[in-house]
Structure 1
Amino acid sequence: MARQRKDEDVPLKQLKAIRWAVRATLALGVIASTIANILHANPHPISQAIAAWPPLALLLTIELISRVPVHRPALAAIRLITTAIIAGIAAWVSYWHMVAVIARYGETGAGPYLIPLTVDGLVIVASVCLVELGGRIQAASTTSSQAGDVPGPLKGATGATNSGDQPEPAPIALTAAPGGSSEGAPRGQRKAAIAEQASRPRHPRPHPTARRAAPSKTPDASSAEPSGDTRGVKVPQTADACARWVRCWISMRKDGLDTGPISLGFEEEARRRYGWGVKQIRDVRHAATSGRLREQANLLGVDLPPEYADEQDELMVSR
């Protein structure tokens, strides 16, 4: 949650602009390293291509790990280790190429050995910044897509605001003119049809603040426990399922997930903590905060633990 608030401090557009600047800095360092490799190689296209390949491979690898999202920690660790190996190879090869080129063009003493470190350092810093910005942009994109949008099953209760448009009136059926022409019915018939249409009762225009219930979302596929949609709120239909929902809600309250948005980026962590995905824990929170989970537990004969609390408890305390 703290990470999300930090990402919201910097606008998404500004993060993308910074990423382009960092990408340009990285490209500058890679170009300098590539030119040094080519200058030191034999004057043959194949030799020059071989010498130019390590910095280009590093650039492509960094672009991949900064753009492709992480879903499995094991695979993320593998690609980071591989990137570190590629970076080490590219730095070693480019360093000695650049040392030879700098010495050839007049630098003496420690200069040929220190100047290449500035290029390698620039590439390392730009690479780390690019990977970090990629994660920040991904988190900010997820947060902005959830901003102002009631998460998950809460939409089932509030729904999207009605657009307020009246139903389209039924088209006036016009009789074809004699002879099959497409000019429509005579003028008198058209006037009579228009008058009949005007006399029909119209549906009242809904108030701008009126809301309609949106279609309930499909429960998380990872849960095999049945659930129903009662009064716009999904609730468990068996005693075992209800007891699991109750335990999940108690854990969510301890973790501070009883309020606030639940981002789709929390999917992996939600499955690790509760055994369900984001959509399912949203259903649990909605059922608990609306009081429907308590009602369903009483209906199914499930005893609620003393630490169970919802809005009804808070209302009783406030009274």
Structure 2
Amino acid sequence: SYRDALQIVLDNSTQLMLIPHKYLIYPWLPQTLRILGKAAADFKSHMTRMLEAETDMMHRGEKGSGSLMTSFVRALDTYQKEDATSAGMKGLSVDEIFGNIFVINFAGHDTTANTLAFSMLLLAAYPDLQDWVGEEVRQVTKGQAIADWDYNTLFPQLKRCRAILLETLRLYPPILSLPKWTTERPQHLQVDDRTINIPPLSGISLATHTYPDYWMDPLPWNPFRWILVGSEGSGITTETLVTPPRGTYYPWSDGPQICLGVKFSQVEFVAVVACLLRGNRLSVVPDGAESSEDIVNRVRSVTEDCNMQMLLRMKHPEKIRLRCRSV
């Protein structure tokens, strides 16, 4: 199926970057590599069928599905009509469309799932934070069945749920570095009493998420930092989300190159957390006679023991076992 093929491709994307799938079909290869090769071929077949179906709709004069695939078909049509040497807007070739579909699938699946993995472990270590978020969910949803939840009504009010997301992304962003390049002219930055000269066409990486000038006590995971209480007094209805100064927080990048799925990822994350903490609580299964402080330290050690594959990932998440109970 499309889902199965996609999951295998996403789980083994690094290998596919090193070994094109057309070389993974030989019978003398290990079975795991042959399965990967078949999954990659199946995934491309699924993409081809989706593209052909959308193209047929457009050729019949229909509006298309209205999805991103419709935009890709228009880009393909532009590419096929344009002169290779013509100036102006360029379309996309079939291979470029397939590349974009893969990137969007990758970004839409693993990034949010990765952030949820970090958040679940951290929430389990802090019962008070779960109660804090659960209080908001119960007050905002007012006992409504989950099937009746309305995005326009509820999402703007679930600020504490979003605070969990924002704080987790501050410390554990899926992409650790956003590489940028300076222009063809040298840049002169005034930092306090120093002038820093940056040569033209220099590669730079932005690192402000834990910069103490912007974040008080920046290293601990503390979702409370994202909530401001109004002057009218304490209470969920008076709370607002902090908006960081521009250039200090960019887990989805910023400007013209901001992530296309920023709102989708926010809504998906908030929906999962709200559904979970509406009537459940997570806890860490103790390792022997661990105290609460020991559990916090163990969770922190696991979440901070990471490596960078395609995304930032915990090396040994299996060291933490979680228990879920109804409340």
TM-score (norm 2): 0.24
Larger gyration radius, structure 1 or structure 2 = 1
TM-score (norm 1): 0.25
Larger helix fraction of residues = 1
Larger strand fraction of residues = 2
